[in-house]
Chain A
Amino acid sequence: MKKIVSLALALCMVLALVVIANKPAAAAEETVLKLWCIATESDANRPAYLQAIADYEAANPGIKIELEAFENESYKTKIKAAMMGGDTEDLPDIFFSWSAMLSTTTYEGKHFGVPTTFNIVALYANMDLLAEVGYDHVPETYEELTACCDALLAKGIIPFGCAGKETWCVTEYLEPIIIKTIGYEALNKIFAGEATWNDPDIAGAVTTFQEMINKGYFDPAGAALGNDETKANFLAGKTAFYQNGSWNTGEVANASFKSGVGLFPVMNADRSSYYQTIGGPSDVLAVCATSKNVDAAAKAAVELGKEICHYNYLNAVGMPAWIPYYDTSSLSPLMVDIAGLVGKCEGLVLFGDTAMAADPAQTYLSYVALVYGGEIDGPGFVAGLTNDLG
């Protein structure tokens, strides 16, 4: 556990986009801080937000947090329109953001963000289906994984489901293969723009992914489906594996079958290792540079971030990016397994589309879509991205 914490804290330092404006504190009697987020009524994060706000208001009399929640997709357009409009009145004091968005919304270099959850890409498995083909654990080597998939296919069970309609779901499959081929340091440099995509091993990783698709490991129907539907297929026992963010743990743990979790196996042991994975504190609470109460907002963001993190962990929707405050013995076994995986992590790379700026991220995603659609091969992927993103 200590390792998670130290790792997470280190990441926060690196990623958490510091710089606070040094303004004198406003001496208001009652300070109202507006908080925008996507924790809508049916969102798994909602309880954590409510509990954290209640705690914070109780501990800090005189400060009121006004929560407004928006639907995920519409929130993206909304926050961008608000930023472009540059209207200080409508903008909140604190807002939920993805790391990627933050980099594009930096205003005069002033930004302050606090991570609220910590997630990795996990390979969930339906252990009941795996047992049918003689496996009692999640395959740990690529040979084992392909053998398992072949056996599943022979029994008429589709190994994977991947939502082609939402390209980020495809990256949840492709990026782990890439990191297990070229290692986290190399991939980090590429995402950060410090190195180009021109690496023949990436082409190899893409080819591996396409081989898996061609062998029929992926449900062909996935091309037309969204994430909700693909996940529903896995939870209904239609596919044996589901690789996606660890925020799904609560739902998978509640499935009617015995579930297991692991990481994608190593492809190239020279450059990578099993405990390297995609993940990180992708969700942050950011302080708006134009807020009239920047100091109060920053303080609140830090506390709320920690608390939301903690409650999310207890509710099994996210790994802590901070030291959990209280007793955590009520966790589900699957959550403990994931925590164990995270604890052993040797290298992390943030989800590609959140690590890159908006325009390159979209270009990257469209190339990933081309790969999934079989329109380009590995070398084509590398050549295209090297050409377009430099």
Chain B
Amino acid sequence: MQRMYSKKVYILIFLLPALILFCGVLIAPIGASAYYSLFNWNGLGAKVFIGLKNYKELFTSNAIGFMKALRNSLLLAGLSVFLQLPLALGLALTLGKRVKGERLFLSVYFMPVLISTVVIGQLWLKIYNPDYGILNVFLRSIGLENWTRIWLGTKKTALGAVFVPTLWQYVGYHMLLLYAGVKSVPPELREAAMLDGATDGQVNRYIVLPYIKPIIRISVIFAVTGSLKSFDLIYVLTNGGPLHSTEVPSTLMINMLFLRNRYGMGSAIAVLLIVLCFGFALLISAIFREEK
């Protein structure tokens, strides 16, 4: 079998479709973007080669605000790892213990993932509406009149207001992943620990968590790269406003590509995003390996 499995022809045939698809649709455009990012180009007329000036401008220009956008998305990534994931993990651990109605809870918690971002965005616009939005109406009804805000219209609150639905929507996604992990813990391990008198918390801490570490790692990677790439909800809720306070790299990129006609600059942002995402994925993997 060794010999049969080592034949170059088979390796090539089995890999070819994936390689064509992958390189043609994903890798080649990155190459194209990297190339265009070295030019000052509006997408139509003549290209002017400017070397790394686009990148330099990105990191130095306050007018573009790339650093701020980057900070915002890193903050989102942090919140995603330290807020969204623990919540998802908590739900997964609770449901993994055969709670009554486990299946129903699981199904419902996953629903927001299935609903399109446009719907989720419209819903939260209504929740945050300064006049009739549920949030302000609720605050008024319990007498906290002066806590009411123009959530999406004030620089101070907009970022937080945009993050809440972004984090909320994917709790179910991570929960299902982690739940799957929790369920895969062999019951013998659990029972043995219980017999030794371990509490629920101890079982989770010493049996379950170490067992599902690979899944937690995947979850963390998805949470971080997903945050860096996040676009849809922010686009619907604020489109980067008010006054660029909720700008993230993706919204900047679309702005450059399609509103400002700065194709070269848009490509530079795309390249940086990819580098960042990949860098973080490697970093997270390394951290998890380290801990082993």
State the A residues within 8 Å of B (CB). 76-77, 80-81, 83-84, 86, 104-105, 107, 164-165, 167, 220-225, 229, 233, 238, 357-359, 362-363, 366, 369-370, 373, 375, 388
Contacts and interface: CB of A to CB of B under 8 A. Distances in A.
Contacts of A357: 261
Query: In the complex, which range does the number of interface residues on chain B fall in?
Result: 20 to 34
Contacts of B158: 224
Most chain-B Cβ atoms within 10 A of its Cβ — which of A220, A223, A358, A375? A223
Contact of A80 (B151, B153, B239, B258): B258
Nearest to B261: A358
A366 to B, nearest CB: 7
A233 B241 CA distance: 21
A224 B128 contact: yes
A216 to B, nearest CB: 14
B15 interface: no
Contacts of A165: 152-153, 238-239, 241-242
Given A165-B239, A369-B243, A84 B43 contact: yes
A84 B150 contact: no
B131 A221 contact: yes
Majority DSSP secondary structure for residues of A touching B: helix
A369 B242 contact: yes
B153 A104 contact: no
A358 B260 contact: yes
Interface of B: 42-44, 63, 128-131, 150-155, 158, 238-239, 241-244, 254-255, 257-263
* Those 8 A-B pairs whose CB atoms lie nearest each other, nearest first: A224-B153, A223-B153, A221-B130, A84-B43, A224-B152, A358-B261, A77-B258, A359-B260
B135 to A, nearest CB: 12
A224 B150 contact: yes
Contact of B129 (A83, A229, A238): A229
A359 B262 contact: yes
Contacts of A375: 243
B258 A223 contact: no
Nearest to B131: A221
A81 B154 CA distance: 33
A223 B129 contact: no
A221 B137 CA distance: 14
B157 to A, nearest CB: 9
Contacts of B130: 220-221, 224-225
Contact of A373 (B238, B242, B261, B263): B242
Given A84-B43, A84-B44, A359-B262, A225 B243 contact: no
Contacts of B129: 221, 224-225, 229
27 contacts: A76-B258, A77-B254, A80-B43, A80-B257, A80-B258, A80-B261, A104-B44, A164-B241, A165-B152, A165-B242, A220-B130, A221-B153, A223-B153, A223-B154, A224-B129, A224-B130, A224-B151, A224-B154, A225-B129, A358-B259, A358-B261, A359-B261, A359-B262, A362-B255, A362-B260, A369-B243, A370-B243
A3 B158 CA distance: 48
A373 B242 CA distance: 8
Contacts of A105: 44
Contacts of A359: 42, 260-262
Nearest to B255: A362
Nearest to A363: B63
Given A223-B154, A225-B153, A358-B260, 14 more contacts: A83-B43, A104-B42, A104-B44, A104-B261, A221-B129, A222-B153, A223-B150, A224-B129, A224-B154, A357-B261, A358-B259, A359-B260, A363-B63, A369-B241
Most chain-B Cβ atoms within 10 A of its Cβ — which of A229, A357, A363? A229
A229 to B, nearest CB: 7
A167 B158 CA distance: 17
A383 to B, nearest CB: 14
Given A223-B153, A225-B153, A164 B261 contact: no
